[in-house]
Amino acid sequence: MEIWQAIILGIVEGLTEFLPISSTGHLILVSTILGIKQTATHKAFEVVIQLGSILAVVYLYRYKIFKNIEIWKRLILAFIPTGILGYLLYKLIKSFFNPYIVSFMLIIGGIVFILIEYFYKEKEHSIKKPEEVPYIKAVLIGLFQSLAMVPGTSRSGATIIGGLLLGLDRKTATEFSFLLAVPTMFVATIYDVYKNYQELSFDNWINLAIGFLFAFLSAIFSVKIFLKYVSKHNFIPFGMYRIVVGIIFLVLIYLGYIKGI
């Protein structure tokens, strides 16, 4: 991998990690466009640069994360379902990583977002702060997040959908998704690195550092812009975008540019 490729992938990771559009799907798509094969080493690179995106949320929400125990109570409860299922189903989850599944989950998730927005009424939703989310609803949002173990679903997309269905307004559902990413992605990334550390070598560290840095910087930009957007608009454009990207995936698979299985 060239340095310029690491920069592009870092930017893509940071921009897409917290949007409901599947960072995994976009990394696969962009890697294909750049001519990078999905080897074990490349997958390990994609996992490690996620830490840059996590650090961006820690930086932006440092006061809430380090000073608000009420948020942490809810985040821990929400993390438990994903933590347990992720550990028990690790090998099964890895077997799901193929472009067909990513394509179909992108399309299905896009349709779900459009349908939910069709029925969603913002004024009827009274939970307007992450620290006000009831404990039982935090657990249920965690269950929604577990669905994102299927590639292409989008972790942020699943948790935002869960939050909307459970009575959170758009901004709160989005912020809760951001905050829940910290324990979830940190544990998942560290565990993944532990499982695949043999794929990382000294030659990769420069690219890893560059990808990490650009993921961090672009995630800061993405989170700020996304929050401003959801304060005034709905998620229908993201649903439509997911459907288009999913179709592009299927076309590329059909044409042989992406290996389907």
pLDDT > 80? residue 193: no
- For the segment 184-206, the average pLDDT, to the nearest whole number, is 76
3 in Cβ contact with 163 (< 8 Å):
no
Beta carbons within 10 angstroms of residue 133's beta carbon: 26
106 in Cβ contact with 243 (< 8 Å):
yes
Residue 222 has a pLDDT of 95
Closest CA to 28 of 179, 232, 182, 245: 245
Higher-confidence residue: 25 or 8?
8
10 Å CB burial of residue 198 (0-12, 13-18, 19+) is exposed
The pTM assigned to this predicted structure is 0.87
Residue 202 has a pLDDT of 56
Q: Which two tokens stand for residue 164?
A: 């909307």
Residue 2 per-residue DSSP state? -
pLDDT > 80? residue 158: yes
